[in-house]
Chain A
Amino acid sequence: MATAAVGYSRWRSTAASLRLSVLMFLADPQWLIPSMIAPVIFGLVAFELFRGAGPYFLTYAILGAGMMSMWGQTLYGSGWATGQDREFGTLEPTLQSPTPYLYIVLGRVVWNVVSGLIGGGIVYVVVVLAAGGPPSLPNPLAFAILFVFVMLSLAAVGVVFAAFYVYTRYAGFIQNIGEFAFYVGTGCMFPVVLLPFWTNPIALVFPPTWALDALRYNSIPGYVGFSWGFEWDLVGAVVTTAVYLAIAGTVFHRVERHVLEVGNLADF
């Protein structure tokens, strides 16, 4: 046979994974529920929940509901798609290809970030419609940028979660237990400082905790979050996100080796 293709291209593999994610999304209408319908419901519930709670209740509602829908998209999305690879039996041919699995996950994460932001946008529109007007944001541009930043910090956690799904078919079980703790712990709905003190150090392990606190500082005048304030929140978020991505790189390499040793790739 003529020349064999040798190797892979990182960006092309990531793009291929992103493309497949979109195709799978379009092919399966059940995805409309978490990605389109859930944000509407979260938005309405959050609006009722925070109604009248101070002058900035609209911002709280948008952040709370936005986080909930984005959280589902990213964290769940990338892990779940990997679980599906097990279920479909596509994990084996994918790992057999020259592309490291990390790039497959990155492609999915890009899609999850995009669809998470769409969900966040839906929440915003729903809350604004329910309130009859937009929230008063001191700096709308910074709000938008920080919103995307929060999303990226969530994505970093999603990548690490995906590694669990490659590691074992019991990842879904592990994630379900961790889900609640994570959701409350990172202060998705309520600021972390409102939680019992002992949970704070745990919450700081998650990049979104920092990013979200920064976002609240930025968009809610008089907000009382972590005592170190907005700037150090940003630094913390960047550092923890970088650490997660670095861990993900190593973890994936090890996990790929581990599954070849154990031989559980075909389990689902």
Chain B
Amino acid sequence: MLARDGPAIETRGVTRRFESRKGFLFRDITRTDALQGVDLTVERGSIFGLLGPNGAGKTTLTKILSTLLLPTGGEARVLGHDVSRDADWLRPRIGLVLGGERGLYNRVSGRDNLRYFADLYGIPPVEREARIRTVLERVDLSTAADRRVEEYSRGMKQKLHLARGILHRPEILFLDEPTIGLDPKSARETRKLIRSLVVDGVTIFLTTHYMFEAEELCPQLAILSKGRIVARDSVDNLRQLVGGDRTLEAEAYGFEDRELATLRHLPGVSKVVEEEYGPATRLTIRVRTEETGVDEVRRVLPGHDELSVRERRTSLEDVYLDLVEEEAR
């Protein structure tokens, strides 16, 4: 097969403009440039995360890559095939989970939903029931399989969405915000399930606006902000990107500008951000070297009775907020 060794996903300058008409006789046309030139390469066989705030264009890109939407510009290839021209080739090889409350036939059972889609994907009749059983076990939905979907909880529906997504054994699976709206326990189970899928060699393209989720699941990720990729790297490199991999936090009831300035001049300090934290103020200090630590910060902030200083791991969230914030400016 042509695309065996190439990247799973390759896009060049992908744009997407939406035109929505409102008002009498469609007079007002609103244009939204949801994607403004997306270049992205995703290798096969792992989980790739696309992280971005609401409205960044994650769903739009997911739909373009899964042949549900055509780009208005640029080029996108999945498994080596053009998404606009080779949709027929791609569709059987793609799994898509848009998730949510919708997208299922609520009046029939979970099993009947899967039977229907199994047939639409041309799964041989002799294999169908066994395959459905396996998939249902995998998402832990076996006991509820014969109940109507309308009786399912939000988490169970999400499991059914996932079951449908993997039923035809796709080579690449698109998951658009797979844990959104789930309670913490269901979200954890879903993440566990997603991780287990990579073992099978499936490439997973996952979008999320939860930074911790991307950090937990995705060795490689890209950050999308306002229709543009603003960063694309491994989690470790992304941490490096915003000035070192250590973060110190100092909390007290108010700091003076002079103190902030002193902090900024400590060795290795790349960034100091001040924010209200309840009645207190919190300083987030990004540090690049070992010279500056908790003790050094304490020394330059004397006279605060309630001062607490601690070191924590720089989370992807820090990186992410920095990037999205920079983009916003």
Q: Is the CB of A260 within 8 A of B67?
A: yes
Residue in contact with A97 in the complex, picked from B91, B104, B169, CB distance below 8 Å: B91
Q: How far is the CB of B192 from chain A (nearest CB, A)?
A: 18
List, in ascending order, chain A residues with CB within 8 A of B60's CB: 263
- Interface residues in B144-186 (C-beta closer than 8 Å to A): 148, 164, 168-171
* Alpha-carbon separation in the docked complex, A149 to B96 (Å): 41
| Cβ of A223 under 8 Å from chain B | no
- Interface residues in A1-60 (C-beta closer than 8 Å to B): 1-9, 12-13, 15-17, 19-20, 23-24, 27-28
Output the nearest chain B residue to A13 by Cβ-Cβ distance. B120
Given contacts A2-B169, A7-B92, A27-B108, contact A93 B122 (CB under 8 A): no
Q: Is the CB of A8 within 8 A of B122?
A: yes
* Alpha-carbon separation in the docked complex, A50 to B169 (Å): 60
Residue in contact with B107 in the complex, picked from A16, A17, A28, A99, CB distance below 8 Å: A28
Tally the A-B contacts, defined by beta carbons under 8 Å. Answer: 116
Q: Is the CB of B108 within 8 A of A4?
A: no
Q: Is the CB of B112 within 8 A of A23?
A: yes
* Alpha-carbon separation in the docked complex, A161 to B317 (Å): 50
Q: Is the CB of B92 within 8 A of A4?
A: yes
* Alpha-carbon separation in the docked complex, A10 to B125 (Å): 13
Given contacts A12-B125, A15-B119, contact A5 B168 (CB under 8 A): yes
Output the nearest chain B residue to A85 by Cβ-Cβ distance. B105
Residue in contact with A6 in the complex, picked from B66, B69, B93, B116, CB distance below 8 Å: B93
| Cβ of B277 under 8 Å from chain A | no
Q: Is the CB of B105 within 8 A of A4?
A: no
Q: Is the CB of B18 within 8 A of A88?
A: no
Output the nearest chain B residue to A104 by Cβ-Cβ distance. B120
Q: Is the CB of A92 within 8 A of B103?
A: yes
Given contacts A24-B108, A260-B69, contact A12 B119 (CB under 8 A): yes
Residue in contact with A98 in the complex, picked from B70, B92, B96, B202, CB distance below 8 Å: B92
List, in ascending order, chain A residues with CB within 8 A of B119's CB: 12-13, 15-16
Q: Is the CB of B106 within 8 A of A88?
A: yes
Task: Count contacts on B: residues with CB < 8 A to the other chain.
Answer: 44
B71-115 interface mask toward A, CB cutoff 8 Å, 1 = contact, 0 = none? 000000000000000001001111010101011111110001001
| Cβ of B201 under 8 Å from chain A | yes
Q: Is the CB of A24 within 8 A of B103?
A: no
Q: Is the CB of B169 within 8 A of A96?
A: no
Q: Is the CB of B122 within 8 A of A98?
A: yes
Given contacts A16-B120, A88-B105, A89-B103, contact A96 B66 (CB under 8 A): yes
Q: How far is the CB of B103 from chain A (nearest CB, A)?
A: 4
Interchain Cβ contacts under 8 Å between A and B, 12 examples: A1-B171, A1-B200, A1-B201, A13-B119, A13-B120, A17-B116, A20-B116, A27-B108, A90-B105, A93-B164, A96-B96, A98-B122
List, in ascending order, chain A residues with CB within 8 A of B253's CB: none
- Interface residues in B176-210 (C-beta closer than 8 Å to A): 200-202
| Cβ of B121 under 8 Å from chain A | yes
* Alpha-carbon separation in the docked complex, A93 to B157 (Å): 14
* Alpha-carbon separation in the docked complex, A90 to B68 (Å): 12
Q: Is the CB of A1 within 8 A of B202?
A: yes
List, in ascending order, chain A residues with CB within 8 A of B18's CB: 263
List, in ascending order, chain B residues with CB within 8 A of A260's CB: 67-70
Output the nearest chain A residue to B93 by Cβ-Cβ distance. A4
| Cβ of B117 under 8 Å from chain A | yes
Output the nearest chain B residue to A100 by Cβ-Cβ distance. B88
* Alpha-carbon separation in the docked complex, A95 to B170 (Å): 16
List, in ascending order, chain A residues with CB within 8 A of B70's CB: 260-261, 263
* Alpha-carbon separation in the docked complex, A13 to B118 (Å): 9
The main secondary structure of chain B at its interface with chain A is: loop
The interface of chain A, by Cβ under 8 A from chain B, is: 1-9, 12-13, 15-17, 19-20, 23-24, 27-28, 88-90, 92-99, 104, 260-261, 263, 265
| Cβ of B123 under 8 Å from chain A | yes
Q: How far is the CB of B194 from chain A (nearest CB, A)?
A: 15
Q: Is the CB of B202 within 8 A of A96?
A: no
* Alpha-carbon separation in the docked complex, A88 to B88 (Å): 24
Of A2, A17, A23, the most chain B CB neighbours within 10 A belong to A23
Q: Is the CB of B107 within 8 A of A97?
A: no
* Alpha-carbon separation in the docked complex, A143 to B261 (Å): 96
Residue in contact with B102 in the complex, picked from A5, A6, A16, A88, CB distance below 8 Å: A88
Q: How far is the CB of A110 from chain B (nearest CB, A)?
A: 15
* Alpha-carbon separation in the docked complex, A127 to B3 (Å): 65
Q: Is the CB of B117 within 8 A of A93?
A: yes
List, in ascending order, chain B residues with CB within 8 A of A8's CB: 92, 120-122
* Alpha-carbon separation in the docked complex, A1 to B69 (Å): 27
Q: How far is the CB of A131 from chain B (nearest CB, A)?
A: 39
Output the nearest chain A residue to B125 by Cβ-Cβ distance. A12
Q: How far is the CB of B204 from chain A (nearest CB, A)?
A: 12
List, in ascending order, chain A residues with CB within 8 A of B168's CB: 4-5
* Alpha-carbon separation in the docked complex, A23 to B115 (Å): 12
List, in ascending order, chain B residues with CB within 8 A of A89's CB: 98, 100, 102-104
List, in ascending order, chain B residues with CB within 8 A of A19's CB: 115-116
Q: Is the CB of A98 within 8 A of B105?
A: no
Given contacts A12-B125, A16-B119, A16-B120, contact A96 B171 (CB under 8 A): no
List, in ascending order, chain A residues with CB within 8 A of B91's CB: 96-98
